Amino acid sequence: MKDNDDLDEMVRGLQEQIDAEEEKEFSAKVLREYRNPQNVGRIKEPDCVGIILGPCGDTMEFSINLRNNRVRRVLFMTDGCGPSIACGSMTTKMATGKTIEEALQIRDLDILNALDGLPEENRHCAKLVMDTLHKALCNFMEGNP
């Protein structure tokens, strides 16, 4: 039993160390979205989908249901980094309820502002998310699934 307790203690210590490192690097909003992301998944019968393989090698995917020219539901999936998860989660919340035109106005800077910023080396993650949202909506406007 003592060995298990020691192991649990070690794992807890490591986790606290990781949490402390993340808290130094990222804003509270980034950590909230990353640790508890919203709207993750793939819509079964979407009106449109956007998938982009970013230059970093990570893929971002948005699937969207629209109604009366508005974003009714939007889910995202990614195999990317923590910041990309935070950006994806925040962007789905920002886009929901907006008209297609309004959602197309969401810029990477808006995503970064909504998250209280990201470190320089993670700013491209917000651009990948913005581009993927726009690609999904453009696919719809061009009549592609």
Q: Which of residues 107-136 bind ligand FES (CB under 6 A)?
A: 122, 125, 128
- Alpha helix (H) ranges present in the chain? 2-25, 28-35, 82-95, 100-104, 108-114, 123-141
- Specify the stretch interacting with ligand FES by CB under 6 A; choose among 37-45, 80-88, 100-108, 133-141: 80-88
Please classify residue 15 by burial: count the beta carbons closer than 10 Å to its beta carbon, then call 0-12 exposed, 13-18 middle and 19+ buried: exposed
Strand, coil or helix: 112: helix
Contact pattern for ligand FES over residues 18 through 47, marking x by CB under 6 A: ------------------------------
CB 124 to ligand FES: min, Å: 7
Please report whether residue 58 would count as binding ligand FES according to CB under 6 A.
yes
Q: What is the rounded distance in angstroms from the CA atom of residue 25 to the CA atom of residue 11?
A: 21
Residue of the chain from 34, 37, 48, 84 that contacts ligand FES (CB under 6 A): 84
Token digits for 117?
A: 């910023």
Q: Which is nearer to ligand FES, 66 or 128 (CB)?
A: 128
Please say whether the beta carbons of 91 and 111 come within 8 A. yes
Q: Which is nearer to ligand FES, 84 or 139 (CB)?
A: 84
125 belongs to the catalytic site:
yes
Q: Which is nearer to ligand FES, 99 or 113 (CB)?
A: 113
| Residues with Cβ within 8 Å of residue 12, at least 6 apart in sequence | none
Residues tagged active-site? 56, 125
Q: Which residues bind ligand FES (CB under 6 A)?
A: 54, 56, 58, 80-81, 83-84, 122, 125, 128
